[in-house]
Chain A
């Protein structure tokens, strides 16, 4: 087993890791925003419900949620989950959307009320104020917390293994059972490089937004 063939097989696991990562991100980012609107809604029952759900999701392990999403439909309703990767995505998207929603909420609530009022007296609608004035301030505020959460997501993808979805650690583990330990360490390098790139990207974004101060 050469270094190259092991690298290739780890790469295929890594592809699946990146796939879970990207799809989760693309869906959880907007869903989180919608949830955050619910959690600051003026309509009390909705706000209360959303906050309870967020509490439940943040208060239990992602691994447990993964298992429940995969097994519960079959055991409870006799409709077994057909696709393992789908179960992974559902659990990840819901879990991360809940975390993102709290970050968004913090960002939204941190914006000075005066910004909305200034927009209003200049004749802007609420939507215009949100997109033209407030959004960028929120983005700037939440970038560090987002960076943290996104990097955690990279590593959380390894939980997919729990319901036998192949990903990077899974690929490396194949060699461990054959008595080869170093591919496991080698897989760590993939995570490190990936997270390194993300850190650089977030650093760039923060720098881009450093031209103004809130």
Chain B
């Protein structure tokens, strides 16, 4: 059973076809890297999967449940929308932490809001919140920021902010965690700490889709690599094959830029 199956996703902005029919599926524990030149549609694909954009055509299944069908858009209740949304986590290139909340509050905010709709919330409020906090503290230490729990985003380096963003996404237990160039906004000396955290997650069999320009990292960490070119998947396969033995001219040219 695939944890995620994407079928024939198409997306256009105005007159430009950005995604021209993307299909792939991933298994639980897979780490997929998506590479490709600027403008090839990587971000757009992640945004469609995370419902930040609505694809014009295509289907998305999570654990074989059809959760999105462009041909048959049905009105979802807020609860259904949230369920659908929470199958995925997304880590942005620009972190997007909430500036008025400290690290712990950033990680727990969504859960605290959600907890309010639990039937026994008013009865067990203390326990529920303590539970949420405890889990968040564990996640924050997992990304190596135990000493920053009460810091505000502006007091953190970019690398630290991105690690908070990762903890924040993990806190909701997504089935699939997506990253859009998680290190592109960082100084080179800070990319290492973020990539290390992602490597650890891969070792713990967290299912991930990572859009990245870090070829070495993609080669090490992923179980499969997808090369996107002008809105289609031009090549995909295990990293060993894709990187050492590219079959398309486009991929060869693309990889040459990085050598």
Contact = CB atoms under 8 A, between A and B. Distances in A.
B116 to A, nearest CB: 10
A122 B169 CA distance: 7
Chain A contact residues (Cβ within 8 angstroms of B): what range?
20 to 34
Interface residues on B, range: 20 to 34
A195 B33 CA distance: 60
B168 interface: yes
A39 B249 CA distance: 51
B96 A137 contact: no
B133 interface: no
A128 B96 contact: no
A148 interface: no
A114 B97 CA distance: 9
A145 interface: no
A140 B113 CA distance: 22
A130 to B, nearest CB: 12
Given A132-B109, A211-B152, A123 B98 contact: no
B227 interface: no
Given A117-B52, A123-B82, A123-B86, A212 B154 contact: yes
Contact of B96 (A114, A123, A136, A213): A114
A212 B103 CA distance: 12
B96 A115 contact: yes
Nearest to A114: B96
B85 A121 contact: yes
B134 to A, nearest CB: 19
B242 interface: no
B78 interface: yes
Interface stretch (B14-22, B63-71, B87-95, B196-204): B87-95
Contact of B88 (A112, A118, A121, A125): A121
Nearest to A113: B96
Contact of A122 (B51, B78, B109): B109
A161 B110 CA distance: 52
Given A128-B113, A212-B154, A213-B154, A123 B100 contact: no
Contacts of B101: 212
A185 to B, nearest CB: 44
Interface in B125-175: 152-154, 168-169, 172
A118 B96 contact: yes
A214 interface: yes
Interface in B70-120: 78, 82, 85-86, 88-90, 92, 94, 96-101, 109-110, 113-114
Contacts of A212: 99-101, 152-154
The 8 closest A-B pairs by CB, nearest first: A122-B110, A118-B96, A114-B96, A213-B154, A121-B90, A212-B100, A123-B82, A123-B86
15 contacts: A118-B92, A118-B97, A121-B88, A122-B109, A123-B114, A123-B172, A125-B78, A125-B82, A128-B113, A133-B98, A136-B100, A211-B100, A211-B152, A213-B153, A213-B154
